[in-house]
Copies of this chain bind each other. A is one copy, B any other.
Amino acid sequence: MKNRQWVLRRRPESDIEPGDLELRESDVRPLADGEVLCRNIYLSLDPTNRIWMSGRDQYLPPVEVGAVMRGGVIGVVEQSRSQRFRVGDIVKPVFGAWEHYTIAGEKAMRPHKPAPDLPLTAQMSVLGSTGMTAYFGMLDIGRPKPGETVVVSAAAGAVGSIAAQIAKIKGARVIGIAGGRAKCDWLVNELGLDGAIDYKAGDIGGALDRLCPNGVDVNFENVGGRIMSEVVARMNDFGRMPLCGMISTYNNEGAIPGPEDFGRVLMHRLLIQGFIVIDYLPRGGEALDQLAEWVRAGKLKWKAHVVDGLENAAEALGLLFSGGNDGKLLVRVSPEP
């Protein structure tokens, strides 16, 4: 029985290049007592994967050069030497990886609580880490009040689109920033946002001025760089900025720049808070129950962009940086049961 695994061969210097990751074949070893073999079905591709590939200061140890690439997966148990798991169970390994099979001890394997009415791809997007990231960032840190103006960057992205809709549910006026006409139309026509800004069309500042005449109360930040500076420059007194990511900076080495005029944080008494979804896992149940309720009520829409085949994972990751994906980016490693 053969495994296939993506190994980090070298740290990318800027954009991910062919050869930074390498697909290797190996034998699947026999299980020890208490271990479980999971055949992975979906692999989640996320901007933070690029952080893990780098040597920069980060929130988890970087993936070592020569090690299998880390990534969130959902799969099905094919062999079990644990009392806790049976063949056919749907599971999420705690330490998921870019591989066909994952072997883990029973304590490093999480049973998946099924939502039988919702597809498995939903469990890897709106009802997975993606949805929880949006939920806690927007509600715990952003705390939008009815009538306030909320801006979400990368608003057509997996996290951004959920965050924007949560702010709408809470009664805020929501403006999304996304790349291209089609995504902007989707935000306004399908998700019901109050406006969308195509950053590829230029003059983000002018568009923000038009669409946010009363300034910005919450900036759900996914992008960093110039877009972040333009939004921060329009934030109101006591504005909140959940700092979820800065994808525009991940392909560059070295220090990540902040908002151009940091003085605004002082003068307008802004709150900026970085957060990572893993910090909220103990409260995950609260988020998932609420998110599922909103999905079932039709208040929360989501979509998945599924790329077939583990062998296409490395190339697919680049879509996140070009904006080429349309919805939560997943790799279908093997068929659903």
Contacts and interface: CB of A to CB of B under 8 A. Distances in A.
Given A246-B266, A259-B258, A261-B57, A273 B274 contact: no
Interface in A224-279: 224, 237, 243-246, 249, 255-276, 279
A224 to B, nearest CB: 8
B255 A243 contact: no
Contacts of A59: 237, 266-269
Contact-size category for A: 35 or more
A275 to B, nearest CB: 5
A165 B20 CA distance: 52
Interface of A: 51, 56-59, 224, 237, 243-246, 249, 255-276, 279
Q: Which 6 A-B pairs have the closest CB atoms?
A: A258-B262, A256-B263, A258-B258, A255-B261, A266-B274, A265-B274
Given A271-B272, A273-B272, A261 B256 contact: yes
Nearest to A233: B57
A70 B51 CA distance: 48
Q: Name, among A56, A246, A255, A276, the residue most crowded by chain B CB atoms within 10 Å (CB to CB).
A: A255
B266 A245 contact: yes
A113 to B, nearest CB: 27
A273 B270 CA distance: 6
A256 B267 CA distance: 11
Q: Name, among A57, A245, A263, A270, the residue most crowded by chain B CB atoms within 10 Å (CB to CB).
A: A263
Nearest to A270: B274
Given A57-B267, A59-B268, A267-B59, A262 B273 contact: no
Contacts of A261: 57, 255-256
A44 to B, nearest CB: 19
